[in-house]
Amino acid sequence: MLNTYNWYLVPVANPDGYEYSIHSSRMWRKNRSAHPTSYFCVGIDLNRNFDSKFRQVGVSSNCHSDIYPGITAFSEAETQNLRDLVVDRKDKVVAYLGVHAYSQFLMVSWGNVLGNSRPHNYVEIDRVGKKMQSALEGHGFRYEYGTVYQLLDYAASGASMDWVLEAKPNMYSYAYELRPDQRSNDGFNLPPRYIVSQGEEYFDSLAVMAKEMSVCRAGSGYEQCQSHAVVG
């Protein structure tokens, strides 16, 4: 995996929101940006702040809402940083992975439209994605595979998973919802005893993706493959 690809890992894409969730409000979702017109509103849902059908579906205009996308796409430093990371390496990036919790899903585009609308390279995305799903399930936990609408019965615009495919078609783009499954009453508080096994099944899915992506399967050879980068 390391000999073939460069991996860019972003462990925490929402640092101030994460810090706030540790010390002040455990279930805090958004970042901690101040609203430009309301002193009482704080925070933007970063995974609705990307420039992908921005503010069109699955969002709220109420700035107090957990799914408030902000006033303009890429208004936040966090989403700007992820955008720039992808754009600066656009000619080499071949895959993008968003990692979330929870429900045990592996989701694919499009997530920003109602119904089963897919990108033109969906056959290849699904070919690799289904093998990633099987790898995730190798530790005894069932993962469901599909679009956001298929799995959650709603759509959400402004997500990073969709934006990268619009910025560079033909990429591999996936979003994980890790353990526990959606029936859990305490899904965002996964017990620490599951950390290692959760990491192992996630890693197994990355290994399958690295092996199966067509950039290294169509006789391209190592020299061409190593010039590509994977953002995760």
| The pLDDT of residue 222 | 44
C-beta separation of 115 from 106 below 8 A: no
Spatial separation of the C-alpha atoms in residues 70 and 31, rounded to whole Å: 11
Q: Is 1 contained in some domain? A: no
* Active-site option among 78, 124, 144, 177: 177
Give residue 93's pLDDT. Answer: 94
Task: Report the domain count for the chain.
Answer: 1
Query: pLDDT tens, position by position, for the chain (232 residues)?
Result: 998 899 999 999 999 999 999 999 999 999 999 988 888 999 999 999 999 999 999 999 999 999 999 999 999 999 999 999 999 999 999 999 999 999 999 999 999 999 889 999 999 999 999 999 999 999 999 999 999 999 999 999 999 999 999 999 999 999 999 999 998 888 898 899 999 999 999 999 999 999 999 875 444 444 455 556 666 6
Give the pLDDT score at 218. 42
Examine residue 203 and state whether it is found in any structural domain, yes or no. yes
Told to judge if 177 belongs to the known catalytic residues of this protein, a careful annotator would answer: yes
pLDDT given for residue 221 in this prediction = 45
| Predicted confidence (pLDDT) per residue in 58-96, tens digit | 999 999 999 999 999 999 999 999 999 999 999 999 999
Residues 6+ apart with CB under 8 A from 8: 85, 89, 229, 230, 231, 232
Residue with tokens 């390279």: 121
pTM of the model: 0.92
Q: How far apart are CA 67 and CA 51, in angstroms?
A: 15
Domain annotation covers residue 190: yes
Residue 72 lies in a domain: yes
pLDDT (0 to 100) of residue 216: 58
Dist CA 208 CA 206 (whole Å): 5
- Give the helix ranges, DSSP H, for the chain: 15-23, 77-88, 122-136, 148-152, 160-167, 195-212, 221-225
Question: pLDDT value at position 83?
Answer: 97
Q: Angle CA(84)–CA(86)–CA(13) in degrees, nearest 5?
A: 75
- Residue 79: count other Cβ atoms within 10 Å of its Cβ: 25
C-alpha 134/C-alpha 138 separation (Å) is 6
- The answer to whether residue 67 is domain-embedded is yes
The confidence score (pLDDT) of residue 117 equals 94
In a domain, 71, yes or no: yes
Q: Which domain holds residue 91?
A: 6-231
**Closest by alpha carbon to 110, among 61, 59, 161?**
161
Q: Within a domain: residue 217?
A: yes
Predicted local confidence at residue 197, as pLDDT = 94
CATH of the domain at 178: 3.40.630.10
Nearest to 95 by CA among 177, 156, 164: 164
Of the candidates 139, 209, 199, 224, the one whose C-alpha atom is nearest the C-alpha of residue 174 is 209
